[in-house]
Structure 1
Amino acid sequence: MEHSSLDLYRVFYACAKTGSLTKAAGQLHVTQPAVSHSIKQLENIMGGALFSRASKGVTLTKEGNVLLEYIEQAFQIISLGEKKIAEMRQLLAGEVRIGAGDTLCRYILLPSLEAFYRKHPGIKLKVTNRTTLESVELLKKRKIDFALVNLPLDDIQLEVQKVVDVHDCFIAGPRFEHLQGRKISLNELLSSPLILLEQGSNSRLYVDQYIEQKGYKIVPEIELGSLDLLVEFARIGLGVSCIIREFVDRNQTTVFEIDLKDPIPPREIGIVKLKNIPLSEAAQMFVSTFSLV
């Protein structure tokens, strides 16, 4: 059918509901001849009369009644769609799909999720728990809207927005008190049993690359999957753990931070989205109000 078929159906629907070409023209803000022309076009497309014309107006033929039944349903669905879009733009409905790893989800994303949900309870929040690199793959497959990731991340397909700086550091428990209260070289640090995050995360990669740039090879005794376990293993003296300073309350533990002569430079946590792909109203609002609580 022609690209203007929807307009013809609008004219048909107005005529059917008002029973008058004149009233339909007034409702649609067009002339009566324009309405008559549209009805004739639609009847030509359908291959027969849709209205019986009389001096007092028009009535639907049998075929016209059948068509009205479907057209009425179609316009109701269109109206519901328009209402849904309006609700989404007013943040009364919609969905935000986020990718984030365990640590970032707990210490950065969770407070923002709670605040956003309280303000916009109609928005569905879906969080997919993956590493930074896995989140980027989900983003490229359009399975999430944006991801909270460990930076740096060099990818020309992505748009990056910094959220906060973080610092990787080493902690230990009382067993390693000989490392406390003085500057420690990387060489001395690496002679201790090391406890690190599992390979595959951007956090682990950043630390590995820094150590290698200093001319050393890092060989951990233990690899773990969570920040909490890194802290607990250090606390009971199983080794020296590499953690993120901002995410550990050392006042609640017996661990201490090791003072390195060459501390690991700070890095960034950020939000990434696909370039040139607009976010939904809800996702834009979430990103714009994102904060470290």
Structure 2
Amino acid sequence: MAMNFHQLHIFYTVAEKGSFSAAAAALHMTQPAVTMQVQSLEEYFGTKLFHRSTKRIELSEAGRTLIPYALNSINLMKDTEVAMSKFTHMLQGRLQLGASLTVGEYILPRLLGPFGKEYPNISVQMKVMNTAQILEEILRHQLNFGLVEAPVQHPDVKIEAVLNDELKLIVPSDHPLAAFEKVSVPQMMEHSFVLREQGSGTRQVMEEALQQQGMNPGDMKIVMELGSTGAVKSAVEAGLGITILSQSSVKHELALGLFKVIEVEDVRFMRKFYSIYLSSTILPISAVTFLTFLRERDLGQWL
């Protein structure tokens, strides 16, 4: 009998979760299958890796010794897949992911085209939903990974920044501010705003940037708060106010001359988009390939 990576991964997950049942849920396996793989590993080494009782399990001295080697093997496997993903152009399979609203509606559609040309045999299934829904589906193993607009704090989830984005001051082309290339923050604050709702990633980035400049976002003349970027754009186009949005989300309106981007002195509304996935999961090679594509390509040519 030979030891294999799959057994080490299962062993590490059992140790990390503290029970066979929790490890089975995290690995999307049955509990007897998890138990069998750990027992096979114990038979291979000829020693017990866990002390079992009716209420809990504990690592044996041999199990504690094996832990860093198991973790190294998991990390080596992940690094290997990242390194090889750039060569797998004939890769086949399905890329299954969730994306939060701005990412899914305005960012990823422009990137999936070039990705599809490079990897034509990978089909894409993307769900556009809010971050909480994405996290829930990842935890339930309904999604491999997600791309979201704000960091997620969860003990079972790994998070990594993969994309940069910048919000801009957006005004209708016939607005008084459209005569300027750059305005000050106080000058901007004199005008009526249409904004995303409280709690949205876009709103949060804007408010934090203003606070860093000593400005109180509560002093803004907010005439309307809307639950989607599309609704905000429609309100701005109707002349109801100005807004702060990702420039990528108004590319079409800028090309048509409906909007104008105005620089704001001494402040930049910068944010990152993050990938999230279960830390106990080895991502499928299609997901690893797509994340490598996002990290290593000059995405500005498409955005």
Alignment of 1:1-293 (within 5 A): 91-93=91-93, 95-117=94-116, 123-178=122-177, 180-181=179-180, 183-213=182-212, 214-216=214-216, 217=218, 218=220, 220-249=222-251, 250-290=254-294, 292=299, 293=302
- SS of residue paired to 1:160: strand
Shift of 1:122: 5.9
Point out where structure 1 has 5 or more consecutive residues left out of the alignment: 1-89
The one-letter code sitting in structure 1 at the alignment partner of 2:255 is N
The one-letter code sitting in structure 1 at the alignment partner of 2:239 is G
- SS of residue paired to 1:277: coil
Deviates more, 1:192-201 or 1:227-236: 227-236
Sort the Cα spacing of 1:112 and 1:246 in 2 relative to 1 into closer, same or farther, 3 A: closer
CA distance in 2, matches of 1:181, 1:117: 40
Sort the Cα spacing of 1:92 and 1:129 in 2 relative to 1 into closer, same or farther, 3 A: same
Q: Deviations over 1:197-255 (max 9, x none)?
A: 23342222222333344341146211234434433432332101111123323232232
CA distance in 1, matches of 2:161, 2:230: 25
Point out where structure 2 has 5 or more consecutive residues left out of the alignment: 1-89
CA RMSD of aligned residues (A): 3.0
C-alpha contact 1:158 1:275 (8 A) present in aligned 2: yes
Shift of 1:156: 5.0
CA distance in 2, matches of 1:171, 1:122: 39
Q: Give the alignment's TM-score, normalised by structure 1.
A: 0.58
CA distance in 2, matches of 1:138, 1:285: 21
The structure whose Rg is larger is: 1
CA distance in 1, matches of 2:95, 2:261: 38
CA distance in 2, matches of 1:141, 1:205: 28
The one-letter code sitting in structure 1 at the alignment partner of 2:168 is C
Identical pairs, percent = 22
CA distance in 2, matches of 1:270, 1:277: 17
CA distance in 1, matches of 2:260, 2:133: 32
C-alpha contact 2:191 2:221 (8 A) present in aligned 1: no
The one-letter code sitting in structure 1 at the alignment partner of 2:247 is R
C-alpha contact 2:172 2:178 (8 A) present in aligned 1: no
CA distance in 1, matches of 2:247, 2:120: 33
C-alpha contact 2:151 2:159 (8 A) present in aligned 1: no
Shift of 1:145: 0.9
C-alpha contact 1:180 1:258 (8 A) present in aligned 2: no
C-alpha contact 1:151 1:270 (8 A) present in aligned 2: yes
Q: Deviations over 1:232-286 (max 9, x none)?
A: 4323321011111233232322322233223234211232222232112222223
Sort the Cα spacing of 1:208 and 1:139 in 2 relative to 1 into closer, same or farther, 3 A: farther
Deviates more, 1:109-118 or 1:125-134: 109-118
The one-letter code sitting in structure 2 at the alignment partner of 1:145 is N
Shift of 1:116: 4.7
The one-letter code sitting in structure 2 at the alignment partner of 1:125 is V
Shift of 1:91: 4.2
Sort the Cα spacing of 1:185 and 1:137 in 2 relative to 1 into closer, same or farther, 3 A: farther
- What count of residue pairs does the alignment treat as equivalent? 203
Q: Deviations over 1:57-101 (max 9, x none)?
A: xxxxxxxxxxxxxxxxxxxxxxxxxxxxxxxxx8444x4321112
CA distance in 2, matches of 1:124, 1:109: 14
- SS of residue paired to 2:175: helix
The one-letter code sitting in structure 2 at the alignment partner of 1:148 is L
Sort the Cα spacing of 1:176 and 1:119 in 2 relative to 1 into closer, same or farther, 3 A: closer
* Cross-structure match for 1:52: none
Q: Give the alignment's TM-score, normalised by structure 2.
A: 0.56
The one-letter code sitting in structure 1 at the alignment partner of 2:170 is I
Shift of 1:107: 3.0
